[in-house]
Chain A
Amino acid sequence: MAGSDAAMTMPGAALPSGADPAARYRRREQALMLLLASPAFLIILGLLLVPLGWLVWQSFQADGFTLQHYRRILAEPVYWNTFATTFRISGIVTLAALLLGYPLAYAAASAPPRRALVILALVIVPFWTSVLVRAYAWLILLQRSGLINSLLEGLGLSEQPLALVHNELGTIIATLHILLPFMVLPLYATMQKIPGDLLQAGASLGGRPLHVFWRVFLPLSLPGVLAGLTLVFVLCLGFYITPELMGGGRTIMVSMLVSRNVELYSQWGAASAVSVVLLLCVGLIFLAVGRLVPIERIVGTQ
């Protein structure tokens, strides 16, 4: 009797003193996990969050609080044009990447395993080749006396060498080449999971191939399309190396505006304000798309 009484009162008596071993274990566990994550977090805090906070603060500063840097972005056509150029190039590259990438991902997803592996390998090798190497390759190919121009002349398609590089066209070609894998990989990941049974079901119900594609396959692949579009567009908005090397100083993108304001003019306020606007654009895009597709799935492809 006495023993069972003690057993009944024990839990109640133990809780107020905070000695419940399970709760204590959980707290210790939480503390340990926090500790394990903290070095990585501190690095990101110090090298990313603090600088971002500082950029925001700096963008409102010029001997005290001011909106002049933002006002300049609105007022000066150079800034406007740069943002317009950047969005135009990003739009063109993103659409082109979808047009080139969708059939490629489709072919990889529907091919027998070995051929799919070959296609993927051919996508991944450029993916892991230095951006500089690829920019250099395009400089060789597209220059006035380059391979493309001599080929066109040899075939009698053009009389004079075409200006393929040191302009917007060169920038777009090289950027597309660099970003295409970022379109193909999320597309492939999504298409691969579409059950072939569904397509057969569609066909067996009398759907013509194009109809089945349009009504079954395409809608199911849309999350991948969205992930690819977002990734390519956002990466392109912040692209720096290719426009700098391929643009010939005439194609100015937002990133170059930032770097020039810092390196040439030491205009921290202007550079910060441009950065904040770019960051807002990227943030809004992620926020909007994040409602439809988890962000981890979008950026995880990198």
Chain B
Amino acid sequence: MTDPCPLWRPAWSRWLLGLYVAAVLAFLILPILIVLPMSFSDSRFLTFPPPGWSLRWYEEFFASRSWMQAARTSLGVALLATLLATPLGIAAAYALHNTSSRLLRGLRFVFLLPLMVPIIIVAVGVFFVYAKVGLLASIPGLVLADTMLGLPYVMTAVAAGLQGFDQTQELVARSLGMNRLRAFLSVTLPQIRPSVVSGAIFVFIAALDETIVALFISGGANQTLTKKMFTVLRDEIDPTIAAISTLLTAASFALILLLALSRRRPRG
């Protein structure tokens, strides 16, 4: 649908649509922008506009040992989950793409399950398993859970990449004497790189933002940033949250920008 449609030819109806769309976009974006000035307020009360400006909430965040520890946990876990989910997801997507086996094709559905099962049920289930095997409130436990939740992102992204890749190129490389792994790494992987990068970034952001499973399975010294934020928010509207929110949003935004840039590069 490239052509500006003939549907809304009368000027007033187009104008009306434009107004409506602008209002909906404002609804989507303004609440996120409102956090930014709040984070620079010098007041404990959330009046808008803030009575004065300061960096005190950022100072509060960076000076607090417990907030810093939670931030370190979250970043470390998100990074490790990305490093784990990306290769495993690539391997699984590659296998599903190249197989003719019925069994493996049937499994395709299983790999989408983490996106289909309500997250609260995942959380309760993982909580139970971890309680049995002693992974509660541990870093490996958090990493594994975020890996499981992130796998579908890598797999759908890589599957789309493989769909647009001519598999015979890898066969040519192998027929010329490369072993399979080298052929994959030097011929296939570079060509599906944008999909891999976007899958990995999705996993990272999703792991960083993951809250509900972390509420159940993280704790003690290994509490995630999101769990701490949630617990604080349940009690009061602490302006420190505004500072953290701004930092988190900036991080997500930077990663999306990175993603957009990495997609553009191969073309020119």
Contact = CB atoms under 8 A, between A and B. Distances in A.
Interface residues of B, number: 97
Interface string A46-68: 11111110110000000000000
Contact of B1 (A47, A50, A191, A203): A191
A87 to B, nearest CB: 14
A296 B105 CA distance: 13
Interface string B97-124: 0111101100111111111111111111
Main secondary structure of the interface of A (DSSP, over half): helix
Given A33-B98, A107-B17, A180-B28, A136 B233 contact: yes
Interface in B1-36: 1-10, 13, 17-18, 20-21, 24-25, 27-29, 31-32, 34-35
A48 B114 contact: yes
B83 interface: no
* Interface size range on A against B: 35 or more
Given A133-B248, A133-B249, A47 B233 contact: no
B191 interface: no
Contacts of B99: 29-30, 33-34, 37
Contact of A129 (B94, B123, B252): B252
B144 interface: yes
B121 A238 contact: yes
22 contacts: A30-B100, A34-B103, A34-B104, A40-B89, A40-B91, A41-B110, A44-B111, A47-B122, A52-B117, A125-B29, A125-B252, A130-B226, A132-B229, A133-B249, A136-B241, A137-B35, A139-B233, A139-B237, A140-B46, A209-B10, A212-B7, A241-B211
Given A259-B216, A296-B108, 6 more contacts: A30-B101, A37-B107, A43-B151, A54-B125, A54-B129, A140-B34
User: Closest 5 CB pairs between A and B?
Assistant: A51-B125, A238-B118, A196-B3, A40-B92, A255-B120
Interface of A: 26, 29-30, 32-37, 39-41, 43-44, 46-52, 54-55, 100-101, 103-104, 106-107, 109-112, 119, 122-126, 128-141, 143, 145-147, 150, 177, 180-181, 191-197, 199-200, 203, 209-210, 212-213, 217, 234, 237-238, 240-241, 244-245, 255, 258-259, 262-263, 268, 271-272, 275, 278-279, 282, 286, 295-296, 299-300, 302
